Amino acid sequence: MTAFVLVHGAGHGGWCYKRVARLLRQAGHEVYTPTLTGLGERAHLMSRSIDLGTHIQDIVGVIRCEELSDVVVCGHSYGGMVIAGVAEQIAATIRSLVYLDAFVPESGKSLFDYLPAEQSAGMRADAAQNGEGYKVTPIPAAAFAVNAKDAPGSTRCASSSHWRHLSRSSYSVAGRCGSARTFLPPAGGRRRFSNSARA
């Protein structure tokens, strides 16, 4: 049996892993799908103070409080930024990191550093105009080619992201975690994120 912690991307929640979690549990594994503070069903907790560090602590807290060890930690999209920071803090508890069509940060880089300048500027402008100065409008399910069956739920449960958790630099992760790292591109091999690792 293996323990898995599955970390979603910005604007989503742990619910997005529902099918995967069910399959892993049926295979006898232990699975945790926490929702990051201020996102998904925890959107009511969104505040100006939330940033990447908050989300790293969310996952560190799950691993510590559930007394997990030799755990596989998987991050999708923005979740790659989160799991890199988790590995920096508690590397000894982690068997491997899985980057699922995710951003793979270099030390000192933020997610905005990997986006085209016009896209990050557009997100900041959106937050200023529509999101009380800090909330970014959720990206529609269609932008991610979500299948017709899942698109309504994905759209219904999507939440605003905080531009600070997208703009905060990662911790010094390069070379500091001895865990194995696995990189998985999306189905069909088309990478959605400019710095997704080479598969």
Residue range(s) defining the domain that contains residue 74: 3-110+169-189
What average pLDDT values come out for the chain (199 residues) when binned by 10 residues? Answer: 95 90 97 93 84 94 97 95 94 95 87 87 86 79 74 67 60 51 64 44
Query: What's the pLDDT score for residue 169?
Result: 61
Q: Has residue 148 been placed in a domain?
A: no
CATH number at residue 48: 3.40.50.1820
**Ordered DSSP codes for 30-81:** EEE-PPPTTSGGGGGG--TT--HHHHHHHHHHHHHHTT--SEEEEEEETHHH
Query: What's the pLDDT score for residue 175?
Result: 39
Catalytic residues: 77
Query: What's the pLDDT score for residue 196?
Result: 47
Q: What is the chain's length?
A: 199
Count structural domains, the chain.
1
